[in-house]
Structure formats: C-alpha cells, structure tokens
Structure 1
Amino acid sequence: MSTTTSHTPESESEGPVETAPRPGRLIHNEATTEIPVHLLFRDDPDPVSVPLKPAVVARRQGTGEQPRLRRPLPVKARPAPQVDPDLVERPAPVLPGVAGVLAGTGGMAAGLATSWWAGVLPRLAVQALGLPAYAGAGLGPAQWAAYAGAGALGVAGFGGLSRGRTGRAWVLGLFGRYRGTVRRTGLLWVNPLLLRRRVDVRLRHWRSEPMPAADGNGVAVRAVVLVVWRVRDTARATLGVEEHETYLRECVEAALARVPVELPGGTRGAVESAGDALTRLVAADAAPVGLEVFSVRPVRVEYAPEVAAAMHRRRIAALDARQRATMLTSVVDSVEDTVTRLTMRGLVELDDYERKVLVRDLTVAFCSGRTETAP
C-alpha cells in the first residue's frame, strides 16, 4: 500500500520561513490618538438602548473631529392661566319687582298708621285719608319701634328695586363673597345690601391702536386688529382678573409678537392663516377668565416708522425690476417673432452677422418705443 503526501509551497521552500507578527490596524487622526480597528466593531454583549434625539454639533474646521451628538434641552410647556375653579357663574336669588313695590307701599302705610296712632298726623291728612279722629297716645317707645320697622320695610322695598336690561348683567357680592349673577330683564327686586357690578354681556368688537408686530421676514410692522368677543362667564371676568378688557388687550399684543403678520397685497392664504393663528392664541388665553373670543383679524398693517422709508424704496426697486423684466421679455419675443417671419417668408436673406445686427437694431428700437410710451 502506498501513501501520498501533499506538499505545500511553503514545505518546498528552502529552510523554515519566519513570519513577523502583524501589527494591529490603526486609524490615525490629527486630533485623536491611535484607535485599533477591532475596537470600533466590537460586539457589545449587553447593549443598553437609550432613547435619544440626536442634535448634531458642527465639527471644528481643520481638526478632523467628527460631529458630536448631544441631548437636546427639554422644552418646558407654557403654563395655562388658571383661576379659582369654584368661581363659576350661577344665578342670583332675586324677586320680581312687584314684591319690592308691595313692601315699600306697606312700609309707607305702616308709617302713616304709626303717625295716626301717636297723634302726630295732621288733621287735614286724617280727614283726607278718612281715618277716625283720635287724640293719640304720644310718641313713646312703641311708636318709635313701629316707625323703625315701617322705615326699614319701606327702604328695603323701594331700595331693592332695579331694572334689568337686555345685554347687561349684575354681579352681586356680599362682604367680598360672590353671591350670583343677575341676567334677567325687567323690574326686579335685589337685596339692597348686596354690592352690584354691572357687566356688559353683549357681543362686542374692539379696534385696537397700532401695535408692534413683525412680518414673515422679521421686519418690524405696526398692525391694527379687530377683535370680536363677549363675556361668557361674568363671575370669572369680574372677579377672576383685575380688568378683563386690559387683560384681553395684552393677550392680543402678546399674540402679535408670536405670529407673523403679512402686509396688504400678500397671499390670501397667509393673511387667513395669520388671522386664524391669532384667534386661536387669544381665545386660549382668554377662555380661563370667562371671555369668549370669536375672531382676531388684522385690518391695517404698515411698516414701522423706523423702517418705513427703507422698505418703501425696496418695494419701489422690486416693482421697477419686475417691470423691466416684463418689458425685456416682451421685447425679446417681438424681436424673435419679427426675425422669424422675415426669414420664413423669404423677404430677406441674412447671414449670422447681418442677423445679429438686425436683432440689435430691432431690440434698441423696441426698447426705445416701450420707454417713451411707458407712463
């Protein structure tokens, strides 16, 4: 039996070949030390996933440093305005005006009867009222107590009479405590000891004075806005904020600082979106204090005085450049049409030089004519 032995090329070479140890592959960088390649692709047996939203920091020029990642700063939500949750509008206890009239009349009648009882009522008044003649018991403690009760009844009856109007409401309070709101109309009787604050609950519109704002490019402008609103909760509008009209004005001014306002002549979509954004912001800030905002629309927008002259010159230059571009396009089209017609109809035969001369002369002639006829 014969055996075959395989020889490799290394076994056929003369003498043993010593191989030097291979150095690890390294990455050399101008700003970093030597990093072995195998460390970059090392398998992590227990990776820990950390949810990050990377924010790239620009690399430094000339260092070869790779972009670094950093954790973005948390964005704090803007706190919403809040008032006392127990402060909610509720109807106040009131009586029809007839009750006050009857109480006041009863107080007057009780006073006359006390005067007759005391004998201080004049004889002519006694005869006019048809009362029997009575010498009178004089003014004693009982008569004075009767006078006090009759006066209190009359004052309470006539003093509590009020007239409710459509679109107006009363916010009632007693010793600093909210007692209710009166929205009823007609003759009413309200406790005269209650403090009354009249509130206008009609649909109201307010045209502001020019307020500072900015357009889409950050240029300072002055905007006049029209705000349509009404008081929805009288308790919160009166007691939850110091001055609800001043508060609404400041909310509008704050919204104008956040929403870009376009000048007249801009795109309709931009103007509508600006109005919708203003309405949304102001309504969200005014709702907690009992105000209902229906719309906030810019009615007049103009540049601020400090930039008005420069922006006016810029707009004039832009309009002039646009007009010149339009005129040049029209002239080029006219020259092209003229040369094409002359050539296709065989009226002239032009080489390249003559064509260039003709185009130049026609262009100068058309531009001169357009300039003279331009307003």
Structure 2
Amino acid sequence: MSTTAPHTHESESESEEQTEGAPLGANGHRPPRLIHNEATTEIPVHLLFRDDPAPAPVPLKPAVVGRRQGAGEPSLARPAPQSRPRPAPLADPELVERPARVLPGAAGVCAGLGGVAGCLATSWWAGVLPPLLLESLRLPSQAGAGLGPAQWAAYAGAGMVGLSGFAGLARGRTGRAWVLGMFGRYRGTVRRTGLLWVNPLLRRRRADVRLRHWRSEAIPAADASGVALRVSVLLVWRVRDTARALLGIEDHEGYLRECVEAALARVPVEAPGGTRGGADASAEVLTRLVAGDAAAAGLEVFSVRPLRVEYAPEVAAAMHRRRIAALDARQRATMLGSVVDSVEDTVTRLTVRGLVELDDYERKALVRDLTVAFCSGRGEPA
C-alpha cells in the first residue's frame, strides 16, 4: 500500500527505524509495517506519526474586572472566584481604637490662668476689688462703673475660659489609657503620658493596658479518657483595643473567664502524673482557642497554662487506687526483670566456667532456687 502524502524528514526517519526489524520482500525492500484494527483496516505506521498542522488559536473573551482595562494590557479570561466563608462582621464596624485629639497640659494651664486674670480685670473694671488686693497687685484705684450687663458678660466669658482650662487637665500615666466619649459616641483613646488637656465635656473611662495575669479557681475539665478533673490555669493577657474592651462588651474580664471555661470544656487536659509533652500540647491548644475567642473583645492572650490538675472529688479515691496499682505493677515488672537477669547471669557463669555440670532437671531446680532467693532478698514474695 503506497501513499503520496508529503511528510517531513523526521517522520521518514521514524518510519525507517520501525521497519528495520521487518523481513525483506521479493524486491529486496522491507515492506511497511501495518497495524490491523478490529475493522480489518490496514493503516501504515508512518501515517500515525505525521506532523499535523497547528490548531487554530481560540479567541479569548475579555475578562470582566473591577477596574478599567488599559490600552496596552492583555485581556485574559479569569475564572470566577469561588465563594469563601467570610468572618462574622463586628456589631459596630466603627468601634475600633483610634487616637483622640488632646492638647498639652500647658494649654489648659494657660487657659485657666487667663480666665482668672480676666475675672480680676473685670472686677477692677467694675471697681469691686478690695483696696488690700489693689495694693498687693499694685493696681491704680479708680471709680468703677459698677456691675452692669457688660461686666457680667465679661465675668461669664472669663469664668468659662478658666473653668474649661482647669477642668480639662488630666494626667496620663504609663500603662493606663483614657477612653473618651460624648453623648454615647466613641471619640478616641488617649495613651499619652504626662499632663494633658482633654475636652471637659467628654466622658473619660480609665483602661488598664498593662500586661496582666489571672489565676483561676478550680474549673471543671476532663482528660482524654473522659475522667473528670479540676484544673487551675494561669492566664496572661492585656487589653489591646480599648474601644472594644470597654465599649463593645459589658465586662471584658468576665468574658475572658467564660472563654477559658469554654476552652477547658472542649480540650482534654493531661491527667495528673502525665507527660510534660502532653501538658505543653494542651496549653498550646488552650492558648489558641482562648486567643481566638477573646480577639473579638479587643483582648490579646499570650498564654493559658494549667497550673494545678487534680481529679474531681467523686473520682479522686478510685483514681488514686488505680494509680497506686499501676505504680505497683510497674515496680513489680521492673523487679522481676532484674531478678531474671541476675539468675540468667549466675547460671551462665557457673556452666561456662565448668564449675558444675547440670542436666535439664538440675538446671530448672537451680533456676527456681535462685529466683526464690533473689526475690526473698528484695522483700518480694516468690
């Protein structure tokens, strides 16, 4: 079967390599190898490896994106993003700590002194200052115009300035913060130290932002086998977002205690007498769970570590007996292993050195007698 279809030099070489092992024909040439399919159609092998023309390019539709596509940017079709579960939004998205606007304390002091000076000047203008005060202040005496509407207005203005200046003074300390609010709305947090001036109309709430620790009372828990336990934990934490901690929740310390109890109800704790690795693993899981729950309230948890773990009163006696029995069994197993090693070493030395010649019966009797002697010497019944 011949063909007139053109093919490349690479296809010809592949055809020659595949027909190299075929038998020679009548004219001295090897016939092309054929493949017979189920329909008894003969297909030359070289036709299977011929070069096909490249497929036509598939046009791509421009992707629909959120921004306008530039002139020189390629248009690539992007698959639709898969829907992922989103975290639950906060009750008030605006309730996030931000710095409040405050002034240095010198501004409040100057305002207060200015108000006092204004009141004195108004009194001198009205002529109501006593002579003794005039002499001490070295002010010239003059016949005042009396207390009229202008003098009362000056008194009111100077008094408001002086009162606002002195009333707005506050002292910022290290490790403490002020949460400011007005008419029920959050206005910012002050973490600065030193003498400050804060708007006296704002309500101030003091927050402790230092590193704190809390040692709990005995909290119900359970181990991996479900045995009831009582656990005391040490919690190291601090307030990170003062707005959420003081305004977003009623009692952030009580909420933190509830988070610890909820985590202990979900995580098995290492029983008394357990390994150190198991206790560290439990502490790590507890820390991760409590930190995740407390983050919504603006609290940062560093570690939650069990300090004291004991069995619950209803199972304490039974678990104590069980623990003593386990220790006794372990001790007996250790003692028995050492006795067997000692007997084996004694019998081996006697026989290897040729001190005695023992048959099976005598060997068994010697082993029994040595075992009884060693166990009696260690205070254990044979």
TM range (shorter): 0.7 to 0.9
Rounded Cα–Cα distance in structure 2 between residues aligned with 1:81 and 1:294: 24
* Offset at residue 177 of structure 1 (A): 0.5
The answer for the alignment partner of 1:106 in structure 2 is 114
The answer for the alignment partner of 1:203 in structure 2 is 211
Find the partner of 2:96 among 72, 88, 99: 88
* Offset at residue 276 of structure 1 (A): 1.1
**1:99-131 CA distance string (max 9 Å, x none):** 100110011011111212222211010111111
Rounded Cα–Cα distance in structure 2 between residues aligned with 1:301 and 1:134: 85
Structure 1 position 235 matched with structure 2 position 237: no
Rounded Cα–Cα distance in structure 1 between residues aligned with 2:199 and 2:272: 55
Find the partner of 1:364 among 359, 364, 372: 372
Structure 1 position 354 matched with structure 2 position 362: yes
Matches within 5 A, 1:199-278: 199-278=207-286
Query: Structure 1 stretch 263-272 or stretch 219-228: which is displaced more?
Result: 263-272
Structure 1 position 297 matched with structure 2 position 305: yes
Distance 1:326-1:315 versus aligned 2 partners, 3 A rule: same
User: Which amino acid counterpart does residue 266 of structure 2 have in structure 1?
Assistant: R
Distance 1:302-1:82 versus aligned 2 partners, 3 A rule: farther
The answer for the alignment partner of 2:160 in structure 1 is 152
The answer for the alignment partner of 1:45 in structure 2 is none
* Offset at residue 340 of structure 1 (A): 2.0
Rounded Cα–Cα distance in structure 1 between residues aligned with 2:372 and 2:104: 91
Query: What number of residue pairs does the alignment pair up?
Result: 297
Rounded Cα–Cα distance in structure 2 between residues aligned with 1:289 and 1:298: 23
* Offset at residue 81 of structure 1 (A): 8.2
* Offset at residue 159 of structure 1 (A): 0.4
Rounded Cα–Cα distance in structure 2 between residues aligned with 1:274 and 1:262: 7
**1:227-282 CA distance string (max 9 Å, x none):** 12111111111111111111111101110111111135422321221111111101
User: Which amino acid counterpart does residue 169 of structure 2 have in structure 1?
Assistant: L
The answer for the alignment partner of 2:353 in structure 1 is 345
User: Which amino acid counterpart does residue 195 of structure 2 have in structure 1?
Assistant: L
Structure 1 position 166 matched with structure 2 position 174: yes
* Offset at residue 330 of structure 1 (A): 1.0
The answer for the alignment partner of 1:192 in structure 2 is 200
TM-score under structure 1 length normalisation: 0.75
Q: Note if contact 1:83-1:289 (Cα within 8 Å) is conserved in structure 2.
A: no
**1:170-196 CA distance string (max 9 Å, x none):** 100001010111111111100111100
Structure 1 position 142 matched with structure 2 position 162: no
Report the RMSD for the aligned CA atoms in angstroms.
2.0
Distance 1:327-1:80 versus aligned 2 partners, 3 A rule: farther
Which residues of structure 2 form unaligned runs of 5+?
A: 1-84
Distance 1:101-1:118 versus aligned 2 partners, 3 A rule: same
Rounded Cα–Cα distance in structure 2 between residues aligned with 1:339 and 1:179: 90
User: Which amino acid counterpart does residue 142 of structure 1 have in structure 2?
Assistant: A
Rounded Cα–Cα distance in structure 2 between residues aligned with 1:115 and 1:98: 26
Q: Note if contact 1:83-1:288 (Cα within 8 Å) is conserved in structure 2.
A: no
Which residues of structure 1 form unaligned runs of 5+?
A: 1-76
Q: Note if contact 1:117-1:136 (Cα within 8 Å) is conserved in structure 2.
A: yes
* Offset at residue 164 of structure 1 (A): 0.7
Name the % identity. 81
Distance 1:170-1:223 versus aligned 2 partners, 3 A rule: same
The answer for the alignment partner of 2:186 in structure 1 is 178
SS of equivalent to 1:98:
helix
Distance 1:254-1:308 versus aligned 2 partners, 3 A rule: same
User: Which amino acid counterpart does residue 124 of structure 1 have in structure 2?
Assistant: L
User: Which stretches of structure 1, 4 residues or more, deviate above 6 A after TM superposition?
Assistant: none
Rounded Cα–Cα distance in structure 2 between residues aligned with 1:107 and 1:332: 99
Rounded Cα–Cα distance in structure 2 between residues aligned with 1:126 and 1:137: 17
The answer for the alignment partner of 1:308 in structure 2 is 316
Query: Structure 1 stretch 114-123 or stretch 193-202: which is displaced more?
Result: 114-123
Query: Structure 1 stretch 298-307 or stretch 161-170: which is displaced more?
Result: 298-307
